[in-house]
Chains A and B, each alone.
Chain A
């Protein structure tokens, strides 16, 4: 199994910690002028999302995690699993609700997602930063309102509810930032 020494530590590096795949968030080199050097690391557990701190002696090594980010197309959901396909190998992968996390709120067929695979099994799914979705239902807005102030809830085709400006109407397409869950603008068909 491959391993990494502390000199290879940097943000994004995937390592195994206590049996779970993790990503290094931040690595700090700590050393008294005439003393022992340490790597003080903040690490995100890729299964739970929790961030923990760990200290390594400089020169220690840790097992590498076989974690890769791949771009895949979302095909469909069968209710229990969300199915994706690799655009080049056509290999298909399925992700359960836990693995999908927030991504399930935003994606529809054909959307291209980043799937993080651990030992070739989906570990997490990141939706595109921006998605264009149709509004299924929202209250009719007040005429003449063109600002973003106030707003109203709107139910999207994925079932997710976001706040939209008053002038946006049922049946329109809108662009949403999936990282914040916020309305960005009205959109045309992609």
Chain B
């Protein structure tokens, strides 16, 4: 026996009970709302192309695959769930473990629990209403909320034009705001500078206990959201911050197969340029989109972070039975 081996769970038994209760109440909420629970594979031959996300890989060897089949662990169940929507599922939700390589810290674990749901006929604003209703139901009290566009967020907190400022102006603003070492930072572009300002300067300013919905992102940060033409064009994407913590990300979903394929190619070109691994784009999703995705909005919400907020935990490890170091 080696007493130095830490085998015990990190989360307290009370926190584990809180997790069980949270999952039960999430399921009750969606049962009442008429949204059905689905399951999709955690392993896929395709992977997310987004350069900001790194997939973990594994390999199946067995009947039909004597030489092995390379598989990627999903970073979210989004692509598979969209295929169900195309197949006519109607409103669906899923609670599942998802996996992201390279992410570990106070608010990050390489595997975590995601709640993801889709509402046909909703746009991102209507889905924000439902997200707010869910959070208030789970918190057992109405929470104050504020909705602001990405432009308003940066204007109000940093007196900065998020859509019009170039890298030089963004770096200067970061320096003026006291972001240490901003003069020496080499970031891959405008969006990374916006991310720096968002995480270092805006998130800490967001009021505790308030839901802040941010919507209408720069088109360059559309991810899988549809882009509304205009000057500037805006991505119909939203994020929910609970206090200063990023909790959920939603889209008025892109349904255009050609544009989706174009975005996959752009992502892969960026990955190549940055020396990130090439990954196979999801051909199943593209085929499904060509059949026709119903107009819908979808959102993914970090269940572990929500549990942190409900239990007052400071570090994500405190709400996990066995975080990475004990996995």
A31 touches B (CB below 8 Å): yes
Q: Which of B179, B180, B192 contacts A35 (CB 8 A)?
A: B192
A4 close to chain B: CB less than 8 A? no
Residue numbers in A under 8 Å from B53 (CB-CB): 34
- List residues of chain A with CB within 8 A of the CB of B199: 30-32, 35, 38
Q: Tell yes or no: B65 within 8 A of A by CB.
A: no
Tell me which residues across on chain B come within 8 A of A52, comparing CB atoms: 180
Give the distance to chain A from B55, nearest Cβ to Cβ, in Å. Answer: 14
B134 within 8 A of A: no
B192 touches A55 (CB 8 A): no
Interface residues on A, range: 20 to 34
Chain A residues, Cβ within 8 Å of B286: none
- How far apart are A68's CB and chain B's nearest CB, in angstroms? 25
Q: Is the CB of A56 within 8 A of B181?
A: yes
List B contacts of A54 (CB < 8 A). Answer: 180-181
A86 to chain B, nearest CB (A): 30
A37 proximal to B (CB < 8 A): yes
B106 contacts across to A, CB distance below 8 A: 28-29
Interface stretch (choices B116-124, B183-191, B288-296): B183-191
Indicate with 1 or 0, residue by residue over B61-104, a CB within 8 angstroms of chain A CB atoms: 00000000000000000000000000000000000000000111
Q: Is A33 an interface residue (CB 8 A)?
A: yes
A57 within 8 A of B: yes
Q: Give the interface size bracket for B toward A.
A: 20 to 34
The listed residue with most B CB atoms (<10 A of its CB), out of A52, A55, A60, is A55
Is the pair B185, A57 in contact by a Cβ cutoff of 8 Å?
A: yes
Q: Which of A43-65 contact B (CB under 8 A)?
A: 52-58, 60
Q: Does B27 contact A (CB under 8 A)?
A: no
Q: Are B182 and A29 in contact (CB under 8 A)?
A: no
Given contacts A40-B200, A57-B192, are A30 and B105 in contact (CB under 8 A)? yes
Produce 1/0 per residue, A18-33, CB < 8 A to B: 0000000000111111
Asked if B5 is at the interface of the complex by the 8 Å CB criterion, the answer is: no
Does the CB pair A57–B187 fall under 8 Å? yes
- Mask, B100-136, CB within 8 Å of A = 1, is 0011111110000000000000000000000000000
Q: Mark interface residues in B196-237 (1 if CB within 8 Å of A CB, else 0).
A: 101110000000000000000000010100000000000000
Q: Which of A29, A33, A38 contacts B196 (CB 8 A)?
A: A38
Partner among A7, A28, A35, A56 whose Cβ is within 8 Å of the Cβ of B195: A35
**Are the C-beta atoms of A53 and B195 separated by less than 8 Å?**
no
The reply on A180 being an interface residue by CB < 8 A is no
B49 neighbours in A (Cβ, 8 Å): none
**B192 touching A36, Cβ below 8 Å:** yes
Taken together as a complex, chains A and B put the C-alpha atoms of A58 and B185 apart, in Å, by 11
In the complex, what distance in Å separates the CA atom of A33 from the CA atom of B107?
10
Whether B282 is near chain A, meaning CB under 8 Å from some CB there, is no
The reply to whether A34 and B180 form a contact with Cβ atoms under 8 Å apart is: no
B261 close to A (CB within 8 Å): no
A53-B180 CB under 8 A given contacts A32-B195, A32-B198: yes
CB pair B198–A37 under 8 Å, yes or no, is no
Chain A, residue nearest B249 (CB): A33
Point out the residues of chain A lying under 8 angstroms from B179, CB to CB. Answer: 55
Q: Which residues of B contact A37 (CB under 8 A)?
A: 52, 102-103
Whole-angstrom CA separation of A31 from B249 in the bound complex = 13
B112 to chain A, nearest CB (A): 11
Cα A58 to Cα B179 with chains together (Å): 16
Shortest CB–CB separation between residue B120 and chain A, in angstroms?
Answer: 23
Ordered nearest first, which 5 A-B pairs have the shortest CB separation? A29-B105, A35-B195, A36-B192, A36-B195, A54-B181
Q: A29-B104, A57-B192 are in contact. List 18 more A-B contacts (CB 8 A).
A: A29-B105, A30-B199, A31-B52, A32-B195, A32-B198, A34-B221, A35-B52, A36-B187, A36-B188, A37-B103, A38-B195, A55-B179, A55-B181, A55-B182, A57-B185, A57-B186, A57-B187, A60-B186
Q: Which residues of A contact B (CB under 8 A)?
A: 7, 28-38, 40, 52-58, 60
22 contacts between A and B (CB under 8 A): A28-B105, A29-B103, A29-B106, A30-B105, A30-B199, A31-B105, A32-B52, A32-B246, A33-B239, A33-B249, A35-B191, A35-B198, A36-B52, A36-B187, A36-B195, A37-B102, A37-B103, A40-B200, A54-B181, A56-B185, A57-B186, A57-B187
